[in-house]
Amino acid sequence: MSQAGSASPLFAVVLAAGKGTRMKSNRAKVLHTLCGVPMVNYVIGAIRPLVPERLLVVVGHQAEQVRAVLPEDAEPVLQPEQRGTGDAVRVALGAIPEEEGVLLVVNGDGPLISDRTLGELLERHRSAGVGATVLVAELPDPSGLGRVTEDAGVVRITEERDATEAERRNRLCNLGLYAFELPELRRAIEEISSDNGQGELYLTDVLEIIGLRSRAVTYRLKDLEEANLVNDRSQLARAEEILRRRILDAHMKEGVTVRDPVSTHIEASVEIGRDTVILPGTFLRGRTRIGSDCVIGPSTDLVDTVVEDGAVVEHSVGRGARIGAGATVGPYAYLRPGTVLEEGSKVGAFCEVKNTRVGARSKVPHLSYVGDAEIGEDANLGAGTITANYDGASKHRTVIEDGAFTGVNTNLIAPVTIGRGAYLGAGSVVNKDIPPGKLAVGAPARVIRDAPGARSGEAERPRANTEG
């Protein structure tokens, strides 16, 4: 057993093999996400600053799916049959050949636990020179948690399902975090029995065994917010609410204005620059990055979308898009993957844009679908402009060059190119390329003369009223 102040090697195990029946889900409990991150990865993130020699994750139910979300520094260890937490730790011990050291064991359903608390637990364990230490808290509502009693170096934990009425009145609860001396744990794990209400091997039983040999102690949690373990959907929502508030507070401390934190949802991976304003009902998810001095919302949902400085996005949806500096989007626009809006461009009301680059200062003001297109600079697409990009078998591209102008209710049958400075009359159906500087009208469209302002065969860039 380590002596006080010793720095024996640290190993960590996350228990993530269970199904989580109280979640009533087809998905393993630890795979449920909070603010865009799988529950188990919050636990791993809290352990990482302690720099363990190895960080093991015991997987079992839906093992492959759990493996798929683990970070590279977490080593999965398979528990073939889910026979309880004691069996899970026994499996993990089989993957640790070292005889000496401290093993930190953490349940995978505590996403609010902090590295600070884990560090304090280890400090308590090492300074006490004991065989085992368990994190506990006295909770106003101990429902679903094991109850803890401590007497003269012996810690007993009774699972709620096995507890008497008197034991259930005890509000000192086990939070599922332990520090063990490896030699003591290896001996004790072989002595536990499945003679209980669930027929499982409880890790908690080793505490009493170790306590009788070399003492076990408790460490009381200081921040009760971290005691929010997740066993059902209500607890999941409660934990996510706390994490969401932490994320919002962090952004606000860095100079972001959030008008209504209650209705704003920002995932852990999102980045936001200072002096940006987030309006009510906004969801920012995935790898979304927002620059400085932007206005996002209200009622906007962005996933994996980049918004550069000074852009405005109102009542709109973005998926895998890039919105350039000073660009404006919405209200009620839908930017699909591959959309790139260059500096100062606009996609307005009731427009859908997919796999398209909209050049600097170009505008798609309202009621348009633009897919698989390349739009140059200073172009204007009139209301109801549609790129017909799919012929029933393949997608084709539309090119609209600098300064081109399309009238209302224009259909562009791809593949087609509208030349620099060309004009299309209202209601045109374009199935052939239109040369630069020409005006085309009709269905199918035909060139009738030079475009307005054309000179020497090339049109000047039009200054269109894009709001009417």
Q: Is 390 labelled as part of a ligand binding site?
A: yes
Q: Is 399 exposed, middle or buried (0-12, 13-18, 19+ CB in 10 A)?
A: middle
20-39 in b/e form (b: 16+ CB < 10 A) is beebeeeebbbbbbbbbbbb
Q: What share of the chain is helix, strand, coil (3-state, %, to 5)?
A: 20, 30, 45
The contacts of residue 447 (CB under 8 Å, 6+ apart) are: 434, 435, 438, 439, 440
Residues 368 and 333: their CA atoms lie apart, in Å, by: 10
Q: Is 409 labelled as part of a ligand binding site?
A: no
Q: Is 311 labelled as part of a ligand binding site?
A: no
Asked if 419 and 398 count as a contact pair (C-beta separation under 8 A), the reply is no
Q: Is 332 labelled as part of a ligand binding site?
A: no
Q: Is 355 labelled as part of a ligand binding site?
A: no
**DSSP string of 113-166, one letter each residue:** --HHHHHHHHHHHHHHT-SEEEEEEE-S--TTS-EEEEETTEEEEE-GGG--HH
Secondary structure letter of residue 60 according to DSSP: B
Q: Is 53 labelled as part of a ligand binding site?
A: no
Q: Is 411 labelled as part of a ligand binding site?
A: no
Q: Is 174 labelled as part of a ligand binding site?
A: yes
The contacts of residue 464 (CB under 8 Å, 6+ apart) are: 363, 380, 405
Closest-CA residue to 339 (of 364, 363, 380, 371): 371
Closest-CA residue to 339 (of 315, 331, 362): 362
Q: Is 222 labelled as part of a ligand binding site?
A: no
Q: Is 216 labelled as part of a ligand binding site?
A: no
366 flagged as catalytic:
yes
Residues 12 and 179: their CA atoms lie apart, in Å, by: 9
Q: Is 354 labelled as part of a ligand binding site?
A: yes
Q: Is 198 labelled as part of a ligand binding site?
A: no
Q: Is 385 labelled as part of a ligand binding site?
A: no
The contacts of residue 93 (CB under 8 Å, 6+ apart) are: 103, 182, 185, 186, 189
Length of the chain: 468
Q: Is 15 labelled as part of a ligand binding site?
A: yes
User: Active site residue: 32, 125, 265, 366, which one?
Assistant: 366
Q: Is 26 labelled as part of a ligand binding site?
A: no
Q: Is 74 labelled as part of a ligand binding site?
A: no
Which residues sit in the known binding site for Mg(2+)?
109, 231
Which residues sit in the known binding site?
15-18, 29, 79, 84-85, 109, 146, 159, 174, 231, 336, 354, 369, 380, 383, 389-390, 426
- Which residues are marked as active site? 366
Which residues sit in the known binding site for acetyl-CoA?
383, 389-390, 426
Which residues sit in the known binding site for UDP-N-acetyl-alpha-D-glucosamine?
15-18, 29, 79, 84-85, 146, 159, 174, 231, 336, 354, 369, 380
